[in-house]
């Protein structure tokens, strides 16, 4: 073998070795990001905005609301024993083009895919242990099919409504159709302890939909936080005690509100209105997290 061939072979070997090192480094980075933490973490994702809705749907006049836009967050809860995805957006990732431009569908706009935000912190939908939805409305379920391999945590009354012959109001069944065959845990108690240690609790709060539920997190530094689904939409609803006209059962919804308000007072839990645009804008967004 002449010197030129020997050099060529040596460089080829060096190149392969460098590629292996880069791949190993990338893998190590991902393993570090997805390594189970010692306590609960909460990641908040930007999953879009709703604008242009008639405030009358929520029993308000426009001038009574400080902000008419509604935020659409998605949440990843990382626990030492697994992961939970809570609410999955208003615009499906499949609607985005390769150019990454924002997507608007009716009143809904999203600027980022959920999968890209998950990938930034080292996760893919297939990595997620559990999927939980506060309820079946279209602005909370857009990417449900991406999590069909996760175990779905749902109330029977909610699941039955979602897959009834006539789809429920304000839903988009095509975006959650694959959940029908997902591994499912049907929640039968008012409170369900997801990981068995009291740190991640799903609590039944029906009325907005038949199986509407809220999520309660107990974090080491942040304390107790409730992700309240659509118990409220605007902070003014909570202050002025007004209910939307779009409730599945208004009286049941009001009863759930009273129950939840008593709960948060008793347990010193922060109640986060998921759609509160101003409050959501102040939250740390992924890749930062609460713990």
77 φψ region: left (φ > 0), alpha (ψ -120 to 50), beta (else): beta
- Answer whether residue 206 is part of any domain: yes
The CATH number for 53's domain is 3.60.15.10
How do the pLDDT tens digits run along the chain, 291 residues long?
A: 444 444 344 434 433 333 343 343 443 334 335 567 999 999 999 999 999 999 999 999 999 999 999 999 999 999 999 999 999 999 999 999 988 899 999 999 999 999 999 999 999 999 999 999 999 999 999 999 999 999 999 999 999 999 999 999 999 999 999 999 999 999 999 999 999 999 999 999 999 999 999 999 999 999 999 999 999 999 999 999 999 999 999 999 999 999 999 999 999 999 999 999 999 999 999 999 999
Question: Domain residues for 68?
Answer: 35-281
- Answer whether residue 290 is part of any domain: no
- Answer whether residue 275 is part of any domain: yes
Phi, psi of 153 (to 5 degrees): -105, 110
- Answer whether residue 30 is part of any domain: no
- Answer whether residue 234 is part of any domain: yes
- Answer whether residue 23 is part of any domain: no
pTM, 2 dp: 0.88
Structure tokens at 99: 């150019």
Q: Whose structure tokens read 């694959």?
A: 178
Q: How many domains does the chain have?
A: 1
DSSP letters spanning 123-181: --GGG-SEEE-S--SHHHHTTGGGGTTSEEEEEHHHHHHHTSSSPPTT--GGGTGGGGG
- Answer whether residue 18 is part of any domain: no
- Answer whether residue 96 is part of any domain: yes
């Amino acid at each position: 073998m002449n010197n030129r061939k020997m050099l060529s072979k040596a460089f080829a070997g060096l190149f392969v070795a460098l590629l292996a090192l880069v791949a190993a480094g990338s893998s190590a980075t991902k393993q570090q990001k997805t390594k189970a933490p010692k306590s609960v973490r909460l990641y908040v994702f930007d999953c879009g905005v709703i604008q242009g809705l008639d405030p009358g749907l929520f029993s308000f006049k426009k001038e009574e609301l400080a902000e008419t836009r509604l935020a659409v967050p998605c949440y990843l809860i990382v626990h030492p024993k697994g992961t939970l995805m809570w609410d999955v957006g208003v615009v499906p990732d499949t609607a985005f083009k390769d150019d990454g431009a924002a997507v608007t569908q009716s009143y809904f706009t999203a600027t980022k895919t959920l999968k890209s935000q998950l990938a930034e912190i080292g996760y893919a939908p297939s990595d997620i242990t559990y999927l939980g939805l506060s309820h079946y409305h279209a602005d909370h379920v857009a990417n449900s099919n991406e999590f069909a391999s996760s175990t779905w945590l749902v109330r029977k009354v909610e699941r039955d409504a979602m897959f009834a012959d006539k789809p429920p109001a304000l839903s988009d069944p095509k975006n959650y159709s694959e959940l029908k065959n997902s591994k499912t845990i049907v929640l039968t108690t008012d409170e369900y302890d997801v990981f068995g240690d009291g740190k991640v609790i799903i609590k039944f709060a029906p009325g907005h939909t038949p199986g509407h539920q809220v999520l309660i997190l107990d974090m080491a530094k942040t304390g107790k936080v409730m992700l309240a689904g659509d118990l409220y939409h605007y902070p003014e609803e909570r202050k002025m005690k007004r209910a939307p006209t779009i409730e599945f059962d208004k009286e049941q919804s009001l009863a759930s509100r009273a129950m939840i308000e008593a709960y948060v007072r008793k347990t010193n839990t922060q109640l986060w209105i998921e759609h509160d645009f101003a409050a959501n804008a102040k939250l740390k967004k992924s890749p930062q997290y609460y713990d």
